[in-house]
Each structure stands twice: as C-alpha cells, then as structure tokens.
Amino acid sequence: MSRVSPDTGRRMPAEWEPHTGTWFSWPHNQDTWPDGLEQTERALATCVRLLAKDEWVYVNVLSDGHAQHVRGLVGEAERVEYVILPTNDAWCRDHGATWVYDAFGGRLAVNWEYNAWGGKYPPFDLDRRVAQRMAAHVGDAVEHVGITFEGGAIETNGQGVILTTASCLLNPNRNPGLDTARAEQLLGRVLGATHIVWLHGEIEGDDTDGHIDNLARFVGETTVVYPMAEDDAAHRDGFRQNREALARQLPPHFSLREAPHPDPVHHGGVRLPASYMNFYIGNSCVLMPAYGGEKDEIMQGLLAELFPDREIAAIPCTEVIQGLGAVHCLSQQLPR
C-alpha cells in the first residue's frame, strides 16, 4: 500500500454513507444488449423501485417520449426524477460524476475524462458530457480532472483508503505515460486518498481492463470482501494473488472476508464477466446481482451478515451481464 499526503482536505465518502439519491442512465443501446435489453430494463426498474423507498432516483433519459416509456416500466414510484440527458450507453458508474466532499464539507463533482474504456466502443461523445450535466442538475460545482478514468475503477472506505488497479489507471489506452507516483498524487489531490492499494488482474469477459468493482469491495471502514473460486481455473490464481495483495498492503487491523464467485455465465459461447462484487449499497437496501444457483443464496447470506440494517435484494442479472456489467456499473451514488 502506498501512502499519499493529500493537500486538499477532500474526502470521498463510502458508498454506504447516506445518499441524497442514486443516478442511472437508462439502458437503450441495442448493440450493448442485442438479446437482453428488455430484461435489463425490467431488472433496472426493480432497482429503481427499491431505492426510491428511501432516496431520490435520478434517471437519465433520451427524451420526453423515452421518459414516458421508462415511467411505464417503473410505475408510480415516489422520489423518481427523469432527466433529459442523452447518453450513448447506460454505464453511469463510469461516464457519470464521482462525488467527493471538499475541505469545507461541501459536495463537489469530479469529472474524469472518458473514452469508453480505452476507445473500445465509439461513439461516446454524449457520455463525455454526462458528468458535468449531472452536477449542474443538482447545483454542484464540478472539477475537470484531466485524466481518463472511470468510477468503477475506484473503491473507498470513506476514510482515505482507495482500492484500484494499475491495468485501468495506468493503461496506455487511457493515460499514456502516467506512472504510479503521478497517479497516486492525483488520487490524493482529487479524492483525498491517504493510502492506495493496487490490485491486478481481471475476470474473464471483462472489457474494462480490470475494474475494481468486479474484484474487491469495502463493506466497512476496515473490512474488504473479495471473491474466491477454487474450482474455477480461469480465476483461481488471480483471486489468490489479490487476496495476498490485500493482506500485504492493508493495515493489520483490516479484515478480509471471502465471497463466492458465480458459476460461469455464457452468451453466444463467450464467458461473461459475472461477479457478485458488482453489488450496489443504497440507503436501505443492497442490490445484489444474481445469476441463478446456490451461490446466489450464499452471497445473499454474506451480505445480510455484513449489512444487517439493509434489505438484500437479489436482482436477476443473467441478461444484464450480457452488456458486460451489472448493477454497480449501472449506478452512481449522490452523497447527502
């Protein structure tokens, strides 16, 4: 773990801290879900209804007509606001703003540069404008950072410890020439990071170059949950390496909790990046991607133990993951 000395007084809050709301960019790209778009919309509508019980949900839509379509799926849930904010795709975690608190405790939106995970999926011109417009909608100041990064590549305990991967932040397809020292300085300045843990590897089918929200998540200030799959040759060694890296880099008083990894999910003969780590923590619920089978029940039980004050909602994601992401990738929290 690298120690960083931030000079901004900022703090990136943990996901479990109180939200004003959650943002989604509604799925609409048929190229992303050639077979599962309707099922993905139904799954996300369930997420909206669950979250809206205890926080606002902001849904980016293409037009008034699109808002009417989505409203028909969601129903008459309270605390749902439809924002005319066109996008190329639905991955709000990555193209949306990342919120931090500034030195005075005010909310500040961070606008990373965005290039669709290294230019993999053009066009992304609309997605590049989303973060700034999200911030403007809620009246928050925005900082344009000037490096290419995505929200799914960072994980925090809310107290300055950041988990990330070199395969994303230091990838030449995002930031040519950026080295570890400069990246750590940037994360310290922008997010208030004091300690940075670098993990590696990616799960099979992942097109993000190894987002952390498929590999390890904080579930408390000093607790990290990570996947293990001793019967999965494609991932076993990488998961072991990350477990060792976490144990080596985190302070001794931190604890690690092992979680299951889903049985393989395929589409068109290709393995998809299904991961239970892609859960989302709302104010009163945890949205857990579910893929069928007994491992769903094991993961749901683990999350119930870790979040006893929240409902653990299993969201069917067998079709959602055809887009190569799940509920965490689709969401972005707006801190209170």
pLDDT digits (tens, 9 = 90+) for 26-50: 999 999 999 999 999 999 999 999 9
Pairing state between β 2-3 and 80-84: unpaired
Annotated active-site residue 329? The verdict is: yes
Number of Cβ atoms within 10 Å of the Cβ of 311 = 14
Cα–Cα dist 12/157, whole Å:
8
CATH code of 152's domain: 3.75.10.10
**pTM of structure:** 0.97
What's the pLDDT band for 8 if we cut at 50, 70, 90?
Answer: confident
Note whether 215 and 165 are within 8 A (CB): yes
Residue span of the structural domain in which 44 resides:
2-335
Q: How many domains does the chain have?
A: 1
Structure tokens that stand for 135 in this block: 């911030």
Q: Which of 47, 168, 317, 329 is catalytic?
A: 329
Q: Give the count of alpha carbons within 13 A of 304, CB side only.
A: 10
Q: What is the pLDDT of residues 121-178, one digit of tens each?
A: 999 999 999 999 999 999 999 999 999 999 999 999 999 999 999 999 999 999 999 9
Q: What is the pLDDT of residues 212-251, one digit of tens each?
A: 999 999 999 999 999 999 989 889 999 999 999 999 999 9
- Strand order of the β-sheet with 255-259 is 217-220, 223-227, 255-259
Structure tokens that stand for 50 in this block: 């669950």
Percentage of the chain modeled with pLDDT above 70: 98
